Structure 1
Amino acid sequence: MAKRIEIKDLNVYYGSFLAVEGVNLDIEPKSVTAFIGPSGCGKSTLLRTLNRMHEVIPGASAKGQVLIDGKDLYGAGVDPVLVRREVGMVFQRPNPFPTMSIRDNVLAGFKLNNEKQAKSDADALVERSLRSANLWNEVKDRLDRPGAGLSGGQQQRLCIARAIAVEPQVLLMDEPTSALDPISTQAIEDLVLELKDSYTIVIVTHNMQQASRISDKTAFFNIAATGAPGKLIEFDKTEVIFSNPREKMTEDYISGRFG
């Protein structure tokens, strides 16, 4: 079941450096929300706070609240490992486990958690996840071959299959097509539009056209100067952000005057 995300007064730090300041944002279930803005404005940093990947970096921390259906991910006693099962992530560059087969890549989340599955259940899960990632027909006859042997676009869809195999409610994507060719990019975009029927999706992208094509709402971030914290400048329906933004800074960025 897709979940609502509420970000409240969130500040994100690397050591004592304030990287992202004062973010308040509500993200609807079963929708695609795009984070846009120039490099260094904290988009990916903020994204990683939504499944507590940020704190994997030594000295990194976050203050404020990230609520998923009312439950604070940063509350006392919350296990970050369980958070990352509920909130899956797909990274900028496809990262299938190179020594694992296609099949084992899909099942990796279960194996990392030492969960036992009957072979028939595992087979059904592999097929369901690969079908959900629009990859099954391309790989069904070579499931035992290395995932690293696939094309870049196929590898990224394999990573999406791996992320959704553990049945998260939220899917985070950090520039998932930036390393891909146009045909593979379109395949991922089509997939995102299908997956939003089941998941809440948040995507970081530098591609304005991509944000306008696939997102329901868009959040624009910026920094006042080098070394200043990233801030949320404007958040609205995507068609409003791209056609009639409230803030001149948003309009300048979208029209290519900076960034």
Structure 2
Amino acid sequence: MAQRIDVKDLNIYYGDFRAVADVEMSVEPRSVTAFIGPSGCGKSTFLRTLNRMHEVIPGARVEGRVEIDGVDLYAPDVDPVAVRRQIGMVFQRPNPFPTMSIADNVLAGVRLNNRRISKGDAQDLVEQSLRGANLWNEVKDRLDRPGSGLSGGQQQRLCIARAIAVKPQVLLMDEPCSALDPISTLAIEDLISELKADYTIVIVTHNMQQAARVSDRTAFFNLAGQGQPGKLVEVDDTSVIFSAPREQATEDYISGRFG
């Protein structure tokens, strides 16, 4: 199910402003790739281009290619809705639909895609997705209760269950633990490690220790100065980035000298 992503000569714009310049990199299947770098360097902007969420912002556009197994996601004949179905996204703050039950939250994406599903299949999918998000045992007796009644960490895992229910090939996570306590953060990190067996995962994080713990590869982004576009400085195995990076800017950032 998981697939490789190849980014070629990608430039990202908000109107006339180039926010991210000249990104070339690959994301390996069935692995976790972490994006790190100081605030404002374009990590989250770049992440949103990987499932065409960037272009929902008025005036936003990209130049270049984002390919999944050789298919350019920005080709004229590619449906952006189909791309977002294939590449799921989990946001910084948990965002379950407050008026929906836990079960209906899991099924929301499936129903949004107009997939007809029998009651029995829906029940199976809810259980399968919640098990996949390590949440089933905690909520199986209250599936008809509002998702907003869960704790923050449980809500984030519910959002992950909702994302995997539509059976994507890639999961994008934009600082998924930034609003969570340490115990909930550990639960999400453990879940990420389990999910990479089935998915290609890309995570944006400001937490260096988290990047070191959960990712197989790490990409460091930086910007030369105010008003300058963000750039990919280097990408490598996480062990290399944190022990012997090629670029001095990477060394300075991970050692806490700036950012």
Shorter-chain TM-score range: over 0.9
Deviation, structure 1 residue 132: 0.3
State whether structure 2 residue 33 is matched by structure 1 residue 33: yes
Supply the distance in 1 between the matched residues of 2:117 and 2:255 (Cα, whole angstroms): 52
Unaligned runs of 5+ in 2: none
> Matched residue of 1:107: which SS?
helix
Q: How does 1:116-127 map to 2 (within 5 A)?
A: 116-127=116-127
Supply the distance in 2 between the matched residues of 1:234 and 1:139 (Cα, whole angstroms): 42
2:241 maps to 241
Deviation, structure 1 residue 189: 0.1
Unaligned runs of 5+ in 1: none
Q: Provide, for residues 122-146 of structure 1, a one-character-per-residue CA deviation record: whole Å limited to 9, x for no partner.
A: 0000000000000000000000000
Supply the distance in 2 between the matched residues of 1:249 and 1:178 (Cα, whole angstroms): 24
> Matched residue of 2:211: which SS?
helix
Q: Provide, for residues 165-196 of structure 1, a one-character-per-residue CA deviation record: whole Å limited to 9, x for no partner.
A: 00000000000000000000000000000000
Deviation, structure 1 residue 32: 0.1
Deviation, structure 1 residue 9: 0.2
Deviation, structure 1 residue 114: 2.0
Give runs of ≥4 in structure 1 deviating > 3 Å.
none
2:18 maps to 18
TM-score when normalising by structure 1: 1.00
Q: How does 1:14-163 map to 2 (within 5 A)?
A: 14-163=14-163
Supply the distance in 1 between the matched residues of 2:113 and 2:31 (Cα, whole angstroms): 29
Supply the distance in 1 between the matched residues of 2:158 and 2:82 (Cα, whole angstroms): 22
Counterpart residue identity of residue 14, structure 2: Y
Supply the distance in 2 between the matched residues of 1:158 and 1:32 (Cα, whole angstroms): 20
1:195 maps to 195
Supply the distance in 1 between the matched residues of 2:113 and 2:219 (Cα, whole angstroms): 34
Counterpart residue identity of residue 20, structure 2: V
Q: Provide, for residues 86-116 of structure 1, a one-character-per-residue CA deviation record: whole Å limited to 9, x for no partner.
A: 0000000000001100000000011112221
2:171 maps to 171
Deviation, structure 1 residue 239: 0.5
Number of corresponding residues? 259
TM-score when normalising by structure 2: 1.00
